[in-house]
Amino acid sequence: MPAGFVAGAVAAGIKASGRLDLGVLAAVDRQPLPVAGVFTTNRMRAAPVELSAANLAASEPSGSGHWGRAAAVLSTSGCANAATGVDGDHDQAGLMEGLASLLGVPPVEVLAISTGLIGTRLPVDRLRQPLRELVDHGLADTDDALLALAEQMCTTDTRAKSASVSLELPGADGGPRAVGVSGIAKGVGMIHPRMATMLSIVLTDAALEPWLLYEMLLPAVMRTWNQLTVDGDTSTNDTVLLIASGASGAAPLHAGSPEHDRLKSSVQAVARSLARQQAADGEGATTLITCQVSGARDDTEARAAARAVVASSLVKAAVHGRDPNWGRMAAALGNAEVEGRPVSLRHEQLEIAIAGTPVFAGQPLDFDRAAVARAMDAAELLIRADLAAGGDGIGEAFGCDLSERYVVENSAYST
């Protein structure tokens, strides 16, 4: 847990299972901290998303809801509070105002995230007392507290997701300061670009302005979370927040400085790790699929092509069956689009490799199918493709296999 934050979580009775379902992250000194946010593009945005974007915008009008300042984040799980109408908006606003008064901060400085069943109401009356107890006695600045928050976010996740990177940045006196970047996230269903994070929070104790945080967050989102798909459905609640406490004592970062670039890389490394953990824990998944594409006209086309492969139901089913059925991968590459325009590829020179074995190079290659099938029987599978489109665009995407268990989980229970 980077310095300057406290966190905690309790079981407040939203989840029937009795597991952690109410969490709080706050600035240790209750002062508003620079924060950048990216929210779902789904038009049925949940109440917490609407209110968080509105509060961010109000705290810093120039950020148009992308950046601003906040002192706390309220996290609920087990109920998405999406498609709940104006009553759901009131529920959410009441809870956020409740947290604001418990912390003694203005309501506009509270953001919220939420995940769970769409279309059910939050049991707000039942949450007030646990929320008070959590704020009064349950917040701590420890790693365990952050991990409790990560666990609280989970719904059908089989494990909590977290990642950390440490780096050194110069302090105001020129001496070195240890800076941390730590992220938590939840998966694992209704995950698809655009903004396929579901919920992620990344914290750092570096010091920098809100707009610089957004400049750091957006490319990380584009290269990692927007390249993550589990089932092709973008959630109503997707939210990623990047918050900087400045508590490391490191000097404020300037745009374009080498220090800024190093922090940016660290944020991206944490985001990539979280996105891969989310893919690996996709509902019913047994294999994390990474597709890396080169030779595209540009990076945008490479990312779209990689995403098309990991999003293909037929590719996902073939990986589940350990079947090196590269024809489905070729078809998926041929379907890739960027905003309605097809991605360029030269099929006479297209190359595809599965788990390191070339299987297609302008035409089918002879290869040892049994050996490749054995190599596919792993926790992680790499599919590589070169589009030969005459550019040097590269990109990657993350997904998982499609199993009978995905169908059973999603047909047998309302989630």
**Contact positions with a second copy (CB under 8 A) in 57-96:** 80, 82-88
Binding segment (CB under 8 A) for a second copy, from list 180-188, 199-207, 239-247, 330-338: 330-338
Is residue 197 annotated as part of the catalytic site, yes or no?
A: yes
Task: Encode 165-187: b = buried (16+ Cβ within 10 Å), e = exposed.
Answer: bebebebeeeeebebbbbbbbbb
Site for a second copy in 154-183 (CB under 8 A): none
The verdict on 360 binding a second copy (CB under 8 A) reads: yes
Binding segment (CB under 8 A) for a second copy, from list 94-102, 159-167, 173-181, 328-336: 328-336
The verdict on 340 binding a second copy (CB under 8 A) reads: yes
**Residues 22, 13: Cα–Cα separation, whole Å:** 9
CB of 214 to a second copy, least distance (A): 21
Strands 351-354 and 380-386: antiparallel
Contact 45, 80 (CB under 8 A): no
Among 108, 145, 345, 400, binds a second copy (CB under 8 A): 345
Site for a second copy in 392-411 (CB under 8 A): 401-404, 406-408, 410-411
The verdict on 147 binding a second copy (CB under 8 A) reads: no
**Residues 73, 349: Cα–Cα separation, whole Å:** 50
Contact 19, 11 (CB under 8 A): yes
The verdict on 45 binding a second copy (CB under 8 A) reads: yes
Among 17, 18, 43, 174, binds a second copy (CB under 8 A): 43
Nearest to 200, CA basis, from 181, 213, 187: 187
Rounded to the nearest 10 degrees, the angle between the axes of helix 326-335 and helix 299-311 is 130
**Nearer residue to a second copy within complex by CB, 71 or 198:** 198
CB of 232 to a second copy, least distance (A): 5
- Within 10 angstroms of residue 29's Cβ, the number of other Cβ atoms is 11
Binding segment (CB under 8 A) for a second copy, from list 93-101, 124-132, 168-176, 356-364: 356-364
Nearest to 268, CA basis, from 310, 218, 228: 218
**Nearer residue to a second copy within complex by CB, 240 or 315:** 315
Tokens linked to 276: 């891969």
Nearest to 75, CA basis, from 146, 122, 9, 119: 9
**Nearer residue to a second copy within complex by CB, 84 or 162:** 84
Among 125, 173, 348, 366, binds a second copy (CB under 8 A): 348
How does DSSP assign 55-89, residue by residue? HHHHH-GGGTTSEEEESEEEEEEEE---S-HHHHH
**Residues 29, 166: Cα–Cα separation, whole Å:** 23
Among 52, 234, 266, 278, binds a second copy (CB under 8 A): 234
The verdict on 17 binding a second copy (CB under 8 A) reads: no
Among 30, 347, 374, 380, binds a second copy (CB under 8 A): 347
Site for a second copy in 191-220 (CB under 8 A): 192
Site for a second copy in 243-272 (CB under 8 A): none
Give Cβ neighbours of residue 341 (< 8 Å, ≥ 6 apart). none
**Nearer residue to a second copy within complex by CB, 205 or 401:** 401
How does DSSP assign 172-232, residue by residue? TTSSEEEEEEEEEEE--SS--SSSTTSEEEEEE-----HHHHHHHHHHHHHHTGGGB-SSS
Among 320, 355, 372, 400, binds a second copy (CB under 8 A): 320
3-state SS class at 36: strand
Distances (CA, A) of 180 to 26, 69, 79, 245, 263: 17, 20, 31, 10, 9
CB of 354 to a second copy, least distance (A): 12
The active-site residue, picked from 84, 115, 156, 197, is 197
Binding segment (CB under 8 A) for a second copy, from list 106-114, 247-255, 259-267, 318-326: 318-326
Binding segment (CB under 8 A) for a second copy, from list 135-143, 158-166, 260-268, 331-339: 331-339
The verdict on 54 binding a second copy (CB under 8 A) reads: no
The verdict on 190 binding a second copy (CB under 8 A) reads: yes
- Within 10 angstroms of residue 379's Cβ, the number of other Cβ atoms is 9
The verdict on 378 binding a second copy (CB under 8 A) reads: no
Nearest to 266, CA basis, from 228, 218, 222, 216: 216
Active site positions, annotated: 197
